[in-house]
Amino acid sequence: MIGAGRAREKSGVGSFEEEWAQLKRDAVAMRLAGAGQGGAGTPDVKGSRSAWTTAGNAVEGLAGDVRRAQGALDRGQQGLVTGGGVESAAAQSDLYQSWKTYLDMVAGRCGRLGGGLERAGSDLFLTDKGVLGLFDAIKTHDEDTPAVGGQGR
Amino acid sequence: MIRVVDVEALKALKPHEFEEAALGYRTTSDMAAQAKDALEQRITPQLRGALNGEAADAAVAQLRELTKDFHYVQVECGLIGTALNAFAADVRPAKTKLEQALSDADAHRFAVGANGSVSYPAAGQNPGGPPTAPGSANGTLSEQARALQRQAGNFDPNPNYAIAQDIANRIAEALKEATDADQKWAPQLRGLKVDDDLTVSDGDWADVQKDGEGVREAGRHYSDSLPQPPKDGSPKDNAAWWKGLDPGQQQAWTSLHPDVVGALDGVPATVRDEANRIVLDESRGQYRTELDAMPKPPANEWTWINAGGYASKVHTDEWMDWYKAHGERYEHLTNSLKGMESIQKRFDAVGQNDLPEAYLLGYSAEGNGRAIVANGNPDTAVHQAVYVPGTTANLGSIGGDIDRMGNVWRVADGKSGGQPVSTITWLGYDAPQDIVKDSPFSHYADDGAPAFNRFMDGLDASHTGDSEPHRTAIGHSYGTTLIGSAARQGTLNADDVILAGSPGVQVPKAEQMDVPKGHVWNLEADGDPVPDIGRFGHGGTDWDGPWIIPSDEEFGANQMVTGNVHGHSEYWDADSTSLLNQGYVVAGRGGDAELKAPPKHWEHMR
């Protein structure tokens, strides 16, 4: 377990540490009680379900952080004259548009992944296979395209 | 075709607006750094720790992809912020020059055209000639033309001509400088446009490296204007330099010169980590891309020839041709990539087997490579341990050395009564690569020792706790020789020293190891041949005799029980007494380590 004092100071996740500490205690207690490994879709295993949910909440929280950064980026653009004969100003404006879009995509990914994690924890009827399918779908959604960076390995 | 920045454009251009845009990117970069750390240090390990199975694996894989996105955002937005600040710094003098010229023109009631020409009214007397005429001056940058203009000015009866010409020339200079800056930065900024997908590939990281080179090249002037790290500064000087930078300058240094910042002893561990991870990801992208483009080694590597009636196995001509052209580079790339994967594996292992977060305090893929990897943040730790690996250590084999310090961390953390521990693998020197050809020589240790002393001093300089940390130096094999050399050449900044499988430490007595009496701890396992072979190269000599090594009674080290470890390479095996005893020492509880009598070397050597 990571000592709370040792990790770097982080924003946005609140009482994440305590929640996890409790979670881990629950999980250990469960294993000692012979409840087995559990996994999503086994509604009697409370620990593993809340593990999914907590991770899901944290990842969705990151989407909020991305949005806040977008706000800062947007405020930074105010007062900038685009065009008007300075090429760098036009280039900066294009650059900004590309990053605004990219951050939308990152926030979207956080939302999808966070939502998937939460659903894995909350949907009592989801089987392991069903959870796997959830993440496969997310994976396919975010595959590489060849345009700028190229289809890397 | 060059697009010239005209008077109106330069008047409208506001450098500080670009700096404010830069601030937005810096905020984004900081957000991404925090998100990356949250994913790597908390969210992923804690999910991993609570869940097993295919579904959890798939989720973890997606979390890792998201982590890469954030690292990519962190690095690229850092670079963009720096580029925008550099552009602002480059155009600001031009803008100031223009404003000065315009205000002079205004004071004389001259009109300035969009192209920079300056119109002036008639003035002055022209005795014996026609009345003076109004006119218009066009600026020039040519020294020759300016000389002619000055001559003409001397004859022109209208005094406005010379004044207007001077103003026009200054405007021309300002426009030229602004155009140069604009032409330099516009392509850089366009090049920083982002990938259109969320998969951060090797190609993307190779591009990030190129982006960095471009901004570094274009931003040289800006970069030179920043406060420079002290030349040959002590870790304390380095720490003070870093603290003296404002956040924008810090980001500029990390973005433009991550290799410099990552290697500076005394700079905070989190900062070095951030910088070295940029270098790591960029070099990994670059190495993989290069390896992919290289012809693969021919499949038919071997053939049999009949030489003098005997069949011998030799390399095929085809393979030899390939090897001559690519072999050395291929080996360097594959070996380095192996090391990079080991480091990445450690980052991904946070939370597994209780491992704390990891910090990359040093990194380079050049030559044998460098890697300094910490388990737990040393700046906030009460107990620090720094391990120096021995012969054959290089970037490719770093994984095993990282694991050893993971094991020490676990034991020491369990014995430290809750006080934070940080254990560090220090591959900060060129270790001998061949046990027969290289290991007998001292120069590897002697060359590396000053760097080790600086690193240890740096741990002091960057430490943030209320009290001084307790620090242990751990050496294995040739690594012990380096630690001894560090104590001999300078002052070893440690409280305890652990020597395992030592071939000798250049000094003959424990008291010369720069730690308090009773704080040198030696480990020699049954069947470890190195101490007896090595003594003739690295043993210390004094009035008690020649070639004394830490296993000898005359040396005066505490001899720790090794338990059932055997040979030269098992000192850090999990659950061994050897590891347990090291854990006690690292946790500041050396008194609890189990001791034994020194092995009787001279007896069995006779």
Per residue in B379-389, pLDDT (tens digit) is 999 999 999 99
- CA A85 to chain B, closest CA, distance in angstroms equals 6
Q: Considering only the beta carbons, identify the residue of B13, B50, B376 that sits closest to A27.
A: B50
Rounded to 10 deg, the angle between the A128-141 and A87-122 helix axes is 170
pLDDT of B117 over the 70 cut: yes
User: What pLDDT does residue A43 have?
Assistant: 39
Task: Of B374, B206, B338, give the one whose Cα is nearest residue B282.
Answer: B206
Asked if B431 and B390 count as a contact pair (C-beta separation under 8 A), the reply is yes
Candidates A92, A132, A134, A145: best to mutate against B (most CBs of B within 10 A) is A92
Q: Considering only the beta carbons, identify the residue of A6, A86, A131 that sits closest to B9.
A: A86
Candidates B197, B286, B337: best to mutate against A (most CBs of A within 10 A) is B197
Per residue in B579-603, pLDDT (tens digit) is 999 999 999 999 999 999 887 765 5
In whole angstroms, give the CA distance from residue B606 to residue B598: 17
Q: Do B80 and A95 touch (CB under 8 A)?
A: yes
Q: Considering only the beta carbons, identify the residue of B12, B27, B52 that sits closest to A37.
A: B52
Half-sphere exposure of B180 (CA within 13 A, CB side): 16
A116 contacts in chain B (CB < 8 Å): 59, 62
Q: For chain B, what is the total number of helices (H) and then of strands (E)?
A: 20, 15
3-state SS, one letter per residue, for B392-412: CCCHHHHHHHHHHHHHHHHHH
Q: Considering only the beta carbons, identify the residue of B6, B28, B87 that sits closest to A72.
A: B28
Provide the 3-class DSSP secondary structure of residue B195: coil
Q: Considering only the beta carbons, identify the residue of B18, B53, B202 that sits closest to A153.
A: B202
pLDDT of A147 over the 90 cut: no
Asked if B581 and B523 count as a contact pair (C-beta separation under 8 A), the reply is yes
A34 is a domain residue: no
How sure is the predictor about B542, in pLDDT bands with cuts at 50, 70 and 90? confident
Asked if B298 and B320 count as a contact pair (C-beta separation under 8 A), the reply is no
Provide the 3-class DSSP secondary structure of residue B547: strand
In whole angstroms, give the CA distance from residue B186 to residue B151: 40
User: What pLDDT does residue A25 have?
Assistant: 54
A42 is a domain residue: no
User: What pLDDT does residue B537 have?
Assistant: 87
* Mean pLDDT value across chain B: 93
How sure is the predictor about B136, in pLDDT bands with cuts at 50, 70 and 90? very high
Asked if B152 and B158 count as a contact pair (C-beta separation under 8 A), the reply is no
Q: List own/partner pairs for B244-252 with CB under 8 A and 24 or more apart.
A: B247/B26, B248/B19, B248/B22, B248/B23, B248/B26, B248/B81, B248/B85, B251/B26, B251/B29, B251/B78, B251/B81, B251/B82, B252/B82, B252/B85, B252/B86, B252/B222, B252/B223, B252/B226
Q: Do A86 and B5 touch (CB under 8 A)?
A: yes
Element (H, E) at A135: helix A128-141
The mean per-residue pLDDT over the stretch B553-576 comes to 95
A35 is a domain residue: no
- CA B376 to chain A, closest CA, distance in angstroms equals 7
Count of Cβ atoms closer than 10 Å to residue A8 Cβ? 17
A151 is a domain residue: no
Task: Of B353, B420, B408, give the one whose Cα is nearest residue B383.
Answer: B420
pLDDT of A12 over the 50 cut: no
Q: Do B58 and A136 touch (CB under 8 A)?
A: yes
**Cα B471 to the center of its chain, rounded Å:** 23
User: What pLDDT does residue B96 have?
Assistant: 97
- CA A34 to chain B, closest CA, distance in angstroms equals 15
What does the CA dihedral B190, B196, B198, B200 come to, rounded to 10 degrees? -50
Quote the tokens at residue B476: 């294995």
Q: Do A151 and B189 touch (CB under 8 A)?
A: no
φ/ψ (deg, to 5) at B112: -110, 125
User: What pLDDT does residue A39 have?
Assistant: 40
Asked if B386 and B456 count as a contact pair (C-beta separation under 8 A), the reply is yes
User: What pLDDT does residue A22 have?
Assistant: 59
Sign of CA dihedral B106, B108, B114, B116: negative
Asked if B24 and A74 count as a contact pair (C-beta separation under 8 A), the reply is yes
End-to-end CA distance of chain B: 85
A39 is a domain residue: no
How sure is the predictor about A81, in pLDDT bands with cuts at 50, 70 and 90? confident
Q: Considering only the beta carbons, identify the residue of A7, A74, A80 that sits closest to B17.
A: A80
In whole angstroms, give the CA distance from residue B555 to residue B502: 12
- CA A78 to chain B, closest CA, distance in angstroms equals 8
Residue A83 sits in which domain range? 49-141
pLDDT of B476 over the 90 cut: yes
B45 contacts in chain A (CB < 8 Å): 2
> Domain tally for chain A?
1
A98 is a domain residue: yes
Q: Do A2 and B8 touch (CB under 8 A)?
A: no
- CA A121 to chain B, closest CA, distance in angstroms equals 11
Quote the tokens at residue A24: 């881990």
A12 is a domain residue: no
pLDDT of B417 over the 50 cut: yes
pLDDT of A45 over the 60 cut: no
The mean per-residue pLDDT over the stretch B568-574 comes to 96
B180 in contact with A at a CB cutoff of 8 Å?
no
* Mean pLDDT value across chain A: 73
Residue with tokens 């924003």: A11
Q: For chain A, what is the total number of helices (H) and then of strands (E)?
A: 4, 0
A88 contacts in chain B (CB < 8 Å): 87, 181-182, 185-186, 189
- CA A48 to chain B, closest CA, distance in angstroms equals 6
Q: Is the complex ipTM more than 0.90?
A: no
The percent of residues in chain B predicted with pLDDT above 90, rounded, is 79
- CA B258 to chain A, closest CA, distance in angstroms equals 20
A29 is a domain residue: no
Question: Where would I find the beta strands (DSSP E) of A1-153?
Answer: none
Q: Do B51 and A98 touch (CB under 8 A)?
A: no
User: What pLDDT does residue A84 have?
Assistant: 73
Q: Which residue of A has its CA nearest to B76?
A: A99
Q: Which residue of A has its CA nearest to B380?
A: A6
In whole angstroms, give the CA distance from residue B447 to residue A81: 55
Q: Do B32 and A150 touch (CB under 8 A)?
A: no
DSSP symbol at A81: P
DSSP of B419-431: --EEEEEEE-S--
